[in-house]
Amino acid sequence: MRSSSVSRALMVMAVAAIGLGASPARGDGPSDKSFKKHCSACHTVEKGKNKIGPSLAGIVGRKAGTIEGFKYSDANLKSDVVWDEAKLDIYLEDPKKFMPGNKMVFPGVKKADERKEIIAYMKSSQ
């Protein structure tokens, strides 16, 4: 009797541990950690709020170079890119390679999981 209740307690603990591991998010959307680390010096996700770089509000699905009042480079303006998740992933890994001549002074985010987090965050905040 005693040993079976101990093993039942162990099983309950194991199930609880698996449950915790499977759900790292706290239900409040993708983390802004990587965006803050890499992007927020120059960008916001708020509409109409440009910094050194243009506002990234609504960036997923938006055509490049379309924030009014922001002085883009010709490379960006003439790129004809529509930013989707796949293009953002390639751009953010190496901005100069994807869009030669663009004026975003940024070496890129080399870690794929950080790029994924950044794109998910931008998408969730639009």
| Binding region for ligand HEC (CB under 6 A) | 38-39, 41-43, 52-54, 56, 59, 64-65, 67, 72-73, 75-76, 83, 92, 102-106, 109, 118
| Cβ 6 to ligand HEC shortest distance, Å | 50
Measured distance CA(18)–CA(16) in Å, rounded? 5
**What residues contact 102, with CB distance under 8 A and at least 6 apart?**
73, 75, 76, 79, 95, 96
Tell me whether residue 30 or residue 65 sits nearer to ligand HEC (CB atom). Answer: 65
| Cβ 25 to ligand HEC shortest distance, Å | 20
| Cβ 98 to ligand HEC shortest distance, Å | 10
Report how far apart, in Å, the C-alpha atoms of 50 and of each of 5, 15, 56, 65, 69 are. Answer: 61, 47, 8, 13, 9
Tell me whether residue 8 or residue 111 sits nearer to ligand HEC (CB atom). Answer: 111
| Cβ 71 to ligand HEC shortest distance, Å | 7
Measured distance CA(30)–CA(28) in Å, rounded? 7
The 10 Å Cβ neighbour count of residue 126 is: 14
Tell me whether residue 76 or residue 125 sits nearer to ligand HEC (CB atom). Answer: 76
